[in-house]
Structure 1
Amino acid sequence: MRAIKILLLLLALAAAVAFGGYRYWLAQLESPIAIDTDTLFEVPRGAAFGQIVQSLEARDIIESAWPYRVLARVEPDAVNGLRAGEFELEPGMSGRELVSKLSSDDVVTYRLTVPEGWTFRQMRQRLNQAEKLDHQTSDLSDEEIMAALDHADTHPEGQFFPDTYRYHKGVSDLDILRQAFDRMQSTLASVWADRDDDLPIDSPYQALILASLIERETGVPEERSEIAGVFTRRLEKGMRLQTDPTVIYGMGDAYVGNITRADLRRQTAYNTYVIAGLPPTPIAMPGAGSLNAAVHPNDGDSLYFVAKGDGSHQFSATLAAHNAAVRRYILNGD
């Protein structure tokens, strides 16, 4: 009888110790982690949970790794969803909240903005400078990039939608390019399907080319359809488009900020002062506004426009009126 009492006492003591240990373990997980400022922590791709908690302990983010190792054994589902990426850890969050954070989609993201009217060359430069991006295209040619995107026979200019793209560490520049390419193709397809009747352009690609000219000619949103109207009427009449941005694009690196009369006469594939119709490819990345303007040009009779110097343009229906506008705004009345 005495032996039974002793055994029951030992069992009770063991249970008390176990219960106390369990409560202590829970308390460790419910207590705040050991940081007092916001801390960036990266979970490497493919890292095991044991490696992650060891790193957390080594960086003094948590006081000890053992409660988390126990958690992995007692509640394996709680640690199976950890994802790779950078996480912003905050003072006061508990151990359980830490594990939940590392299992969430709340990774640190970065922004990359591609402005409307930029060229593919400028977009590549921006991608090469972007922090935390996996730079896979830096040493590739334009042709190799398009092949990597499974569009080997496509000229890259104008094919990527200008916008702000969000990404997290580990995303590649090819991923951004693929998003931008798909976005432009879907936007262009939608715009083309809703186009006006009897346009002097025959394909979505021609609409893309025309939109790029509009994009480079004005930054004033309300002018886009008016400029589209001028270009449309010129195409219908067989007049050359005579738009300076095509001259600049055709000059390439030879352009240093000014266009001379010799430049206007220089024979390039893009110079619309010497070629008829549209240039062979877009000259920039147009935004949605210019794409819509290309397929919904304003009615009217204007065939010319000249920059006023404030970002807007003076539109004219006759060459005489245009020359007068040139004297007023370009030659300062001379």
Structure 2
Amino acid sequence: MIRLIKILVSLFVVASIALVAGGYLFVQSSNDLWHKSQSFESQVYNVQSGSNLNRVLNDMFILDEIDRFRLRLWFKLDPSTASVRKGHFELNDGMSFADISETLQTAAEYQYRVTIIAGETFKNVWQQLNQSEGLLASEFNESQIIEQLSVEHASMEGLLLPETYFFTSGTNAFDIVQRAHIALKQKLAQEWDNSERPDTPLKNAYDALILASIIEKESGQAAERPLIASVFINRMHANMRLQTDPTVIYGMGDRYDGRIRKKDLREATPYNTYVISGLPPTPIAMASSEAIEAALNPDESKFYYFVAKGAGEHYFSKNLAEHNRAVRKYILKK
């Protein structure tokens, strides 16, 4: 009897040791799985409300039953690792499950970005924003935006600063417009206050913005903007019409098909600077910071004309005869 008891005790000890060793190895393998670098497609993952890490990992990876069991064991051993936050988070190839857990608990939400391009019209920018990934489409139309932002003008044209704006998922498209409008007002006020404006024909900062939008559309080379600005300032001083094609195109609206005809140059629209004197009533596009700076800090020159000569560059002339020769050379190729 005593011998049997000894045998049973020995078997129990051996079984216990085996069980402990097996448990240790299983926990160790679970730990190895938890910290192992994983191969997957880098992505911005949307964690839904009420989710947990177990659900996220099962959604992201094809896991066998053993790995699923190991993860469930891991979450029982350390429940804090299973919690996640609602939102969009960037997960990159090579992360371990531990890295993913930390990211979904402590990292900042993924920042989407959208760029308002200089030279674009408000119509196009508003359409772009309402179709951008991560942004919620707004039901506001232009008139409602003007009312919401307490804009003093009848158009939003030119009233956004072209920059790249970052945002988290679920941001409304109107919020980007509001930020871009505030940025534009700050930039314009700063440049207006800092410019010396000796003998300028520009009556106010809005005039400067209108001119900046024309400079934006006319300039293919950033370095030429102050010189292009000088041409328009010189023409305004001399009471000459600005005669710039982008204003004609803007006045034509959807009728523009890529060509400007003689009848278009003669058409009396509020924006046709071949017909009207001075500046058009509103900007014709979004003007970059550099174009605003050029409008308020033009070069000193005696140029009154310029013509495109290719590669975004222009030939500048002091009088009509010189300008006509440049047109024949660069446009008519004579």
Q: What band does the TM-score fall into relative to the shorter chain?
A: 0.7 to 0.9
Alignment of structure 1 residues 26-41 onto 2, 5 Å:
28=30, 31=33, 32=35, 35-40=38-43
Q: Describe the SS at the equivalent of 2:285.
A: coil
Gaps of 5+ in 1: 1-13
Q: Describe the SS at the equivalent of 1:299.
A: coil
Give me the TM-score of the superposition, normalised by structure 2. Answer: 0.79
Distance in 2, matches of 1:239 and 1:71, equals 82
Q: Describe the SS at the equivalent of 2:136.
A: coil
Contact 2:161 2:184 in 1 (8 A): yes
Change (3 A) 1:184 1:70: farther
Name the counterpart of 2:294: 293
Q: Alignment length, in residue pairs?
A: 312
Gaps of 5+ in 2: 1-15
Name the counterpart of 1:206: 207
1:124 aligned residue (126, 140, 162): 126
Alignment of structure 1 residues 156-305 onto 2, 5 Å:
156-198=156-198, 199-305=200-306
Q: Describe the SS at the equivalent of 1:186.
A: helix
Q: Does 1:151 align with 2:150?
A: yes
Q: Does 1:44 align with 2:47?
A: yes
Name the counterpart of 1:112: 114
Q: Structure 1 residue 90: deviation in Å?
A: 3.2
Change (3 A) 1:25 1:204: farther
Q: Does 1:135 align with 2:136?
A: yes
Name the counterpart of 1:100: 102
Change (3 A) 1:291 1:58: closer
Distance in 2, matches of 1:190 and 1:276, equals 28
**Larger Cα Rg: Structure 1 or Structure 2?**
2
- Please give the per-residue CA displacement for 1:101-135, whole angstroms capped at 9, x wherever unaligned: 112445555443333211112223333443x3233
Q: Structure 1 residue 296: deviation in Å?
A: 0.5
Distance in 2, matches of 1:30 and 1:152, equals 60
CA-atom RMSD in angstroms: 3.3
Contact 2:129 2:137 in 1 (8 A): no
- Larger CA deviation: 52-61 vs 323-332: 52-61
Q: Does 1:87 align with 2:93?
A: no
- Please give the per-residue CA displacement for 1:190-243, whole angstroms capped at 9, x wherever unaligned: 222221232211222111111001011111112111111111122222221111
Q: Does 1:329 align with 2:330?
A: yes
Q: Structure 1 residue 299: deviation in Å?
A: 0.8
Name the counterpart of 1:318: 319
Give me the TM-score of the superposition, normalised by structure 1. Answer: 0.79
Name the counterpart of 1:66: 72
- Please give the per-residue CA displacement for 1:153-210, whole angstroms capped at 9, x wherever unaligned: 5421111122333445433322332332222222222222221232211222111111
Contact 2:112 2:168 in 1 (8 A): yes
Change (3 A) 1:59 1:303: closer
- Please give the per-residue CA displacement for 1:258-291, whole angstroms capped at 9, x wherever unaligned: 1112111111111111112111111011112111
